[in-house]
């Protein structure tokens, strides 16, 4: 177990580079199972979720080489063995093995997914899609078993009852090698879906419409080798932009795709955040006179639920009363009691987050309850007077590549220590 110690009150300055997208790589690595040859991924973030996925692939018989931010995966010797429950249970994205193993072997036995506790995140949409393609599911203890009973997966017309990134990607994975055409209606449109579809298409898949609400997949029998650059992490980028606006005196965030962050940046502009958007970077100036705003999360291209928590400390710098409504994950409010411990005027009222600013934060002992809550506490700790001690930082290390080193480079007084 580790913890992060922050001595707040330091102003940050300089440049920080955004790593590859966590929400892409956790799908791209399972997608590599579908290849019949070696694949390479560049821009791989240095996060614990990647380490867990690599261990799972190796346990299945794959050959994996990692060098700096590149990953070479040779899936040709993979065996369809039940997956190690401990590693599967540690990350939510383990459910992508359902689609990739079904696509390759016609069956899968995978431990139930874990990850952050953000309220109900059922996999019924995934199972409904698999059932439409001919795969039956059953629970066996802590495992989910999916099988076509020796038959091939068949293309199907699938309507997603609700917009789901995970279910959309999983259906694409299963359909890539299915016989016939699969059509996904009411599909999610996130950039990470386009990234996965691009990776598969470069291997020889026939996927059209990624990034729209109707995706068509013509099944193929073989997928070849490719080399793929992971897209920048828009959530990490948004986190550093919010951090720079809260405690920065001129911070440039590099490797940013503006078009992936339009909903978020629009809300910052409404607050009065001063920044300059460049071709692949954003320069955030020292701020003053920020205005309180109301935020309501929604599926892409709206305000991302994953950025609701990282922006909260910045909102506490603004003048006035504001509200945050998370329509995606009802339990994404666990950071609020921790911020209140730091003297923030913030509370949950009727399922909505209500804040009054500006708040003068004080250092305290707090706990990261999930990945993005941990990011919020780091920003709050940088803002606060005195020392902040954050425990449960394993959540943070799951999704933010080298965050302590990056913040130290900007001038933060931050250390990662054994607890």
| Catalytic site positions | 116
Q: Is 252 annotated as a binding residue?
A: no
Cα 89 from Cα 33, distance rounded (Å)? 19
The annotation status of 80 as a binding-site residue, yes or no, is: no
Q: Which has the closest alpha carbon to 45: 308, 235, 257, 280? A: 235
Contacts 24+ apart (CB under 8 A), 409-412: 409/14, 409/16, 410/12, 410/13, 410/14, 410/16, 410/248, 410/251, 411/10, 411/11, 411/12, 411/13, 411/14, 412/6, 412/10, 412/12, 412/382
Q: Is 379 marked as binding a ligand?
A: no
- Cα distance from N-terminal residue to C-terminal residue, the chain: 6
Residue 125 marked as a ligand binder? yes
Q: How many CA atoms lie within 13 A of 322 on its CB side?
A: 26
- Residue 124 among known ligand-binding residues: yes
DSSP percent split of the chain into helix, strand, coil, nearest 5: 35, 30, 35
CA distance 371 to 16: 20
Q: Per the annotation, does 370 bind a ligand?
A: no
Angle, CA 107 vertex, CA 102 and CA 110 arms, to 5°: 90
Q: Is 51 annotated as a binding residue?
A: no
Find out whether 337 is annotated in a ligand binding site: no
Strands 12-17 and 248-254: parallel
Q: What is the DSSP letter of 94?
A: G
| CA 402 to centroid of chain Cα atoms | 15
For residue 325, what are the β-bridge partners? Answer: 296
In angstroms, the CA 126 to CA 261 distance is 27
Tokens representing 20?
A: 């590859």
b/e burial code for range 209-222 (CB count within 10 A of at least 16 → b): bbbeeebbbebbee
Residue written as token pair 């997966």: 153
CB 301 within 8 A of CB 192: no
Total residue count of the chain as it appears in this document: 419
Annotated binding-site positions: 22-23, 92, 121-125, 306, 328
- Report the binding-site residues for UDP-N-acetyl-alpha-D-glucosamine: 92, 121-125, 306, 328
Annotated binding site for phosphoenolpyruvate: 22-23
């Amino acid at each position: 177990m580790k913890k992060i110690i922050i001595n707040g009150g330091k102003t940050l300055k300089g440049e920080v580079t955004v790593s590859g997208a966590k929400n892409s790589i956790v799908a791209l690595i399972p997608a590599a199972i579908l290849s019949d040859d070696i694949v390479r991924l560049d821009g791989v973030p240095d996060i614990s979720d990647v380490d867990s996925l690599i261990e799972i692939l190796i346990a299945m018989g794959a050959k994996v080489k990692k060098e700096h931010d590149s990953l070479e995966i040779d899936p040709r010797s993979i065996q369809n063995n039940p997956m190690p429950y401990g590693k599967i249970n540690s990350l939510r994205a383990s459910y992508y093995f359902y689609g990739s193993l079904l696509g390759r072997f016609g069956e899968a036995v995978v431990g139930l997914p874990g990850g952050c506790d953000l309220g109900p995140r059922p996999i019924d949409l995934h199972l409904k899609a698999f059932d439409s393609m001919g795969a039956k599911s059953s629970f066996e203890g802590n495992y989910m078993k999916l099988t076509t009973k020796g038959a091939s997966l068949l293309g199907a017309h699938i309507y997603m009852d609700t917009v789901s990134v995970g279910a959309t990607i999983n259906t694409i994975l299963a359909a890539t090698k299915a016989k016939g055409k699969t059509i996904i209606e009411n599909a999610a449109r996130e950039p990470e879906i386009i990234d996965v579809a691009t990776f598969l298409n470069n291997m020889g898949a026939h996927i059209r419409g990624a990034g729209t609400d109707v995706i068509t997949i013509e099944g193929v029998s073989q997928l070849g080798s490719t080399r793929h650059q992971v897209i920048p992490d828009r959530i990490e980028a948004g986190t550093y932009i919010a951090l720079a606006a809260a405690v920065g005196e001129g911070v440039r965030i590099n490797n940013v795709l503006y078009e992936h962050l339009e909903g978020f940046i629009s809300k910052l502009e409404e607050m009065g955040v001063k920044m300059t958007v460049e071709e692949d970077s954003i320069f955030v100036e020292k701020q003053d006179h920020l205005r309180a705003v109301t935020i309501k999360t929604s599926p892409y291209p709206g305000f991302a639920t994953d950025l609701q928590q990282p922006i909260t400390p910045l909102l506490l710098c603004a003048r006035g009363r504001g509200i945050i409504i998370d329509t995606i994950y009802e339990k994404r409010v666990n950071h609020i009691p921790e911020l209140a411990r730091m003297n923030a005027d913030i509370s949950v009222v009727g399922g909505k987050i209500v804040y009054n600013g500006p708040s003068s934060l004080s250092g305290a002992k707090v706990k990261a309850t999930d990945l993005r809550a941990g990011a919020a506490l780091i920003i709050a700790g940088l803002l606060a007077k005195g020392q902040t001690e954050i425990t449960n930082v394993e959540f943070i290390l799951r999704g933010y590549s080298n965050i302590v080193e990056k913040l130290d480079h900007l001038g933060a007084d931050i250390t990662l220590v054994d607890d």
